[in-house]
Structure 1
Amino acid sequence: MVATSSWEAALAKAAGARNVRPIVPPSIRHAPDYDLKPSDLTAVAGADDVLYASFEPFAGRIKSAAGSKAKMVELDLDDDPETTRANVTRLGKLFGTERAAAQWNSAFTTEWNSLSRQLKAARTGGKAPVVVAQAFTAWAAKLAGVQVAGTYGPDAVTPAQLSALSAKKPAFVLDNENMSTGTVLPGSEARQLEIVNYPGADLDLLSVYRKAADQMRKAFAGS
């Protein structure tokens, strides 16, 4: 089985799949920018299942390389817990590993609830901080149990957006490390946290949530 990135591969692993090969190396910061190699296309051509996301610019080449043999599985990539569980359930049915997928989803829900409780306990004075978030890091705010006062991206922040977001007086900016363009609110006192959406080489999807929770817990406790 071939997956375009570590994200799709991690979802497949969570669903109970084995021997999943991600094409884009996990070390690549922004997977959609990756330039496919001939060896990547050869791997796709020999795969039975290919997992991909529509926003990846090379999706068309992946489909062409797969031809009529491989089963193309398009996934909606978002670390929101409902989306993650739905993807794992869907892949479990596809692979015939429903039991493994259900067990992972149960463990994920337990982990999510535990991390959420820890984050709420870490708030200074028990008050939820005001945050603004990049379009694809709103899930982190949900994990922390805080309201998003405003969002930006994936396009560059315009002067009007900068003014509007700064006016919210956020304590934190939950930026997307995989798409970061630098300081989001220059001149603001908001502390910027770089949230990662993609799993690492171990394809451990839970590590994404744990890392984000650790970042926010430390930041909230020190605010």
Structure 2
Amino acid sequence: MAASVLLGGCSSSASEHTHDHGHAHPRVVATTTWEAAFAKAAGAEEVKVIVPPSVHHAPDYDPKPSDLTAVAEADFVLYAPFEPFAAKIEEAAGSKAELIEVDLDNSAEKVKAQVQALGQRFGTSAAAQAWTATFSTEYEKLSGDVRSAWPGGTQPTAVAQVFSTWAADLAGARILGTYGPEAVTPGQLVELAAKKPQFVLDNAHMSTGTVLPDADVKQVPIVNYPSQDEDLLSVYRDAATTLKKALSGA
């Protein structure tokens, strides 16, 4: 996935843009809690989410007329290109709202880069920089805590769904292979099983069931979306707890 936030609907660059919409805080509409978490990390205070947190697989959601009205009244609209309703969002935004296409990725360095880019767009760079500093400290602490649970003190091995590789990085695991987002084919199954990983890091939002059903491998569900609090750090805290339990055999 691309490391930067791709910006749409405006010809100016992210480094040149500042918030100037005639009111104190930029009004942001985010398609899911994932984009909303990025927006809040960047310093946005008025953020409306279109897809309810109860919808486990956001791309399946069909926006309501009230959702599209909110989009039309926003200053910024954050969405991901893989969301099937993206075209409706773009049309509803019209000429007023500024569209920001976000390549969602929880890899630490990509998260910091995207949050800072959004802060520049919103005119909240100071808040974005403060958040990234907090994030760096928290990430190192969580990563160290997970690594302390390595079985026998040895670096674990894993195969990961393509949107869950960030969790392997958090755990310090060696990635032997990846799969998805499509279901694993028989050929891939043979190939991944032959690598003899200790763990499978699955994507809880796009799971296709047990990835290596005939292998004695612990499958760990990784959650990419934050809960209703729209706190991006909560994703890493929850993942660290899940990973530590898996590594310790719980």
**Take 2:99 and 2:249, find their aligned partners in 1: how far apart are those partners?**
46
**Can you give the 5+ residue segments of structure 2 that lack an aligned partner in the other structure?**
1-27
Q: Which residue of 1 aligns with 2:85?
A: 58
Q: Which residue of 1 aligns with 2:138?
A: 111
Q: Which residue of 2 aligns with 1:97?
A: 124
Query: What's the Cα RMSD here?
Result: 1.0
1:85 lines up with 2:112 in the alignment: yes
Aligned-pair CA distance for 1:220: 0.7
Secondary structure of the 2:211 match is: coil
1:162 lines up with 2:189 in the alignment: yes
1:1-223 equivalence runs, <5 A: 1-222=28-249
**Take 2:129 and 2:41, find their aligned partners in 1: how far apart are those partners?**
9
**Take 1:67 and 1:81, find their aligned partners in 2: how far apart are those partners?**
33
How many residue pairs are counted as aligned between the two chains? 223
**Take 1:205 and 1:28, find their aligned partners in 2: how far apart are those partners?**
18
Aligned-pair CA distance for 1:146: 1.2
Secondary structure of the 1:128 match is: coil
Secondary structure of the 1:100 match is: helix
**Can you give the 5+ residue segments of structure 1 that lack an aligned partner in the other structure?**
none
Aligned-pair CA distance for 1:97: 1.0
**Take 2:54 and 2:232, find their aligned partners in 1: how far apart are those partners?**
15
Secondary structure of the 1:179 match is: coil
Q: Deviations over 1:25-64 (max 9, x none)?
A: 1121111111111111111111111111111111111000
**Take 1:31 and 1:86, find their aligned partners in 2: how far apart are those partners?**
24
8 A Cα contact 1:27 1:200, kept in partner: no
Secondary structure of the 1:16 match is: coil
**Take 2:33 and 2:146, find their aligned partners in 1: how far apart are those partners?**
26
Aligned-pair CA distance for 1:138: 0.3
Aligned-pair CA distance for 1:171: 1.2
- 1:184 corresponds to which letter in structure 2? V
Structure 1 segments, 4+ long, off by >2 Å, are none
**Take 2:45 and 2:208, find their aligned partners in 1: how far apart are those partners?**
35
Q: TM-score, normalised by structure 2?
A: 0.87
- 2:170 corresponds to which letter in structure 1? L
Secondary structure of the 1:105 match is: helix
Bigger helix fraction: 1
Aligned-pair CA distance for 1:172: 0.8
Q: TM-score, normalised by structure 1?
A: 0.98
- 1:9 corresponds to which letter in structure 2? A
8 A Cα contact 1:76 1:83, kept in partner: no
Secondary structure of the 1:178 match is: coil
**Take 2:224 and 2:154, find their aligned partners in 1: how far apart are those partners?**
26
- 1:18 corresponds to which letter in structure 2? E
Secondary structure of the 1:51 match is: strand
8 A Cα contact 1:24 1:34, kept in partner: yes
